């Protein structure tokens, strides 16, 4: 029964991805398609580029949120790996006045809530890392996000290649390409 449920959910994810790609506004598609080239040529600071990338990701999510079960109060993804660059940690620190605590010894945080999850809600939503902005489920039932299922099944998901490349470029330009789990830094 679970395999049939999974197959049905995966079919919904594929259909949602196809709808998104067809229905996405051309200006939004163009912004995503050109952001990397713009960043390569831009002389802006890494923080300014990061803010622009975050704005793009927010606009993308505003469009495709109707194709996902993700929503306020859904927080299963806050219990899995939340990778973050030191640049993003500094961005959070500078905007919210939250100091890093750095615990680099521990590596596996699966099942441990993000330190910024409070009563089921993200307390740094406006300043959340790139990985949180790009993590979107396309199936129609959040049951697949539950911790006992999320690592057992793989689903079709959204990958915006130019935004991903832009993120890697910004992190590289910042001088520290290391990624950490957010729980290692805060």
For each successive 10 residues of the chain (186 residues), what is the average pLDDT? 90 95 95 97 97 97 90 90 96 96 89 96 96 93 91 89 97 95 97
- What is the pLDDT, as a whole number, of residue 105? 87
Query: How much is the pTM?
Result: 0.92
Which token pair is 170? Answer: 């910004």
In eight-state DSSP terms, residue 78 is G
**Residue 104: CA count within 13 A, CB half-sphere:** 5
Instruction: Give the per-residue pLDDT at 129.
Output: 98
Which pLDDT value is given to residue 32?
A: 96
Tell me phi and psi for residue 50, to 5 degrees: -60, -45
In contact, 50 and 13? CB cutoff 8 Å:
no
């Amino acid at each position: 029964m679970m395999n049939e449920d999974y197959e049905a959910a995966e079919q919904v994810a594929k259909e949602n991805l196809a709808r998104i790609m067809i229905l996405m506004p051309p200006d939004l598609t163009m912004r995503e398609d050109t952001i990397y080239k713009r960043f390569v040529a831009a002389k802006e600071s890494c923080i300014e580029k990061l803010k622009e990338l975050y704005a793009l990701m927010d606009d993308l999510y505003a469009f495709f949120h109707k194709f996902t079960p993700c929503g306020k109060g859904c927080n299963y993804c806050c219990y899995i790996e939340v990778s973050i660059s030191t640049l993003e940690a500094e961005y959070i620190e500078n905007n919210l006045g939250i100091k890093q605590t750095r615990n680099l010894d521990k590596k596996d945080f699966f099942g441990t809530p993000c330190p910024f999850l409070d009563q089921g809600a993200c307390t740094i939503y406006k300043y959340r890392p790139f990985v949180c902005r790009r993590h979107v489920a396309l199936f129609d039932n959040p049951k697949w996000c539950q911790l006992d299922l999320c690592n057992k099944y793989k689903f079709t998901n959204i990958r915006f290649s130019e935004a991903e490349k832009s993120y890697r470029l910004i992190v590289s330009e910042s001088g520290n390409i290391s990624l950490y789990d957010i729980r290692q830094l805060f």
